[in-house]
């Protein structure tokens, strides 16, 4: 498009307005010159906007639409922000609840462990007191007990009160450790006797290290009761760990 065409396009609306105005003046002059009989006839006036084909009521709608779109966009954005804030609050509360539950579980576990340890200590104390009382009874002292049938296993069965299942566990345990030999000595440690006690283990039973098989059984049962609660408990530990 050249400059002349552009200028012509720009002058066209002005020319149309001029033509419309001239037409309106001419119409008025023509009406004035008509006979009186036609003076009362209704006249139809054509506006400049109508002459140009422009809808005078259409222009404001173009200005209102962007405002409505802006309001709708702002309302949607506010709703999204409110939803995000609510989701964040829910997540934070869930995290607080999780931490509180973990702390409560940890406290409960610590309290249970403390109760178990206190019970174990009390059981050990009572066992030691019973062993000391039994050793102080007349006729016991440091004298070896005599097995009714002359065997270490029968003596152990008697000490267990004839409990067959517990004796079976004990028989398996000490059979594995020493073969029930009161003179068995581990070549690589101080483990000695039927129960294969180390020197430090003997000290915890209240019975001095001895070659007397019956006293070894006494010491062995004291240790097992204090540490595992029963021969079967000691045997289960030995099977799992290889020692007791």
Question: How many other CB atoms sit within 10 Å of the CB of residue 232?
Answer: 19
How far apart, in whole angstroms, are the C-alpha atoms of residue 243 and residue 160? 22
Which DSSP helix (H) or strand (E) runs through 11? helix 3-32
Say whether pLDDT at 85 is over 60: yes
**pLDDT digits 0-9 by tens, 109-120:** 888 887 888 777
SS3 185: strand
Cross-strand bridge partners of residue 192: 185, 197
- Helices 164-177 and 231-241 meet at what angle, rounded to 10? 40
- Tokens of residue 196, six digits: 């294969």
Contact 195, 202 (CB under 8 A): no
Global pTM reads 0.41
The pLDDT assigned to 222 comes to 95
Q: Domain segments of the chain: what residues?
A: 62-141, 145-241
Phi, psi of 192 (to 5 degrees): -150, 150
Closest among 224, 222, 219, 226 to 235, alpha carbons compared? 224
Cβ burial 165-190 (10 Å sphere, 16+ → b, else e): ebbebbbbbbeebbebebebeeeeee
Pick left, alpha or beta for residue 118 (phi over 0 → left; psi -120 to 50 → alpha; otherwise beta): alpha
Whether pLDDT at 11 is above 80? no
Task: Give CA–CA dist 12/18, Å, rounded.
Answer: 10
Q: Pick one of 3.40.50.720, 3.20.20.10, 3.50.50.60, 1.10.530.10 as the CATH number of 145-241.
A: 1.10.530.10
Mean of the per-residue pLDDT values of the chain: 75
Q: What is the DSSP letter of 39?
A: T
Question: Which residues are registered as beta bridge partners of 185?
Answer: 192
Pick the range with the lowest mean pLDDT from 12-26, 108-122, 179-193.
12-26
DSSP 37: G
| Range from 1-5, 75-79, 97-101, 239-243 carrying the lowest mean pLDDT | 1-5
pLDDT tens figures, 140-165: 444 444 444 568 999 999 999 876 88
């Amino acid at each position: 498009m050249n400059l002349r065409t552009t200028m012509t396009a720009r002058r066209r609306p002005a020319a149309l307005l001029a033509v419309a105005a001239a037409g309106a003046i001419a119409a008025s002059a023509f009406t004035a010159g008509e006979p009186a009989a036609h003076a009362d006839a209704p006249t139809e006036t054509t506006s400049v906007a109508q002459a140009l084909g422009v809808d005078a009521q259409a222009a404001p709608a173009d200005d209102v639409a962007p405002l409505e779109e802006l309001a709708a966009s702002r309302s949607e954005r506010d709703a999204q922000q409110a939803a995000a804030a609510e989701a964040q609050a829910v997540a934070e509360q869930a995290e607080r609840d999780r931490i509180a539950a973990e702390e409560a579980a940890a406290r409960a576990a610590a309290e249970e462990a403390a109760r178990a340890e206190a019970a174990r200590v009390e059981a050990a104390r009572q066992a030691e007191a019973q062993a000391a009382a039994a050793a102080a009874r007349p006729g016991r002292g440091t004298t070896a007990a005599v097995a009714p049938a002359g065997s270490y296993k029968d003596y152990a069965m008697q000490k267990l009160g004839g409990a067959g299942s517990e004796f079976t566990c004990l028989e398996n345990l000490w059979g594995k450790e020493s073969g029930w030999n009161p003179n068995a000595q581990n070549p690589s440690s101080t483990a000695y006797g039927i129960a294969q006690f180390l020197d430090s283990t003997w000290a915890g039973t209240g019975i001095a290290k001895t070659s007397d098989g019956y006293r070894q059984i006494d010491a062995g049962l004291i240790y097992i009761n204090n540490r595992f609660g029963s021969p079967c408990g000691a045997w289960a530990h030995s099977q799992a760990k290889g020692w007791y």
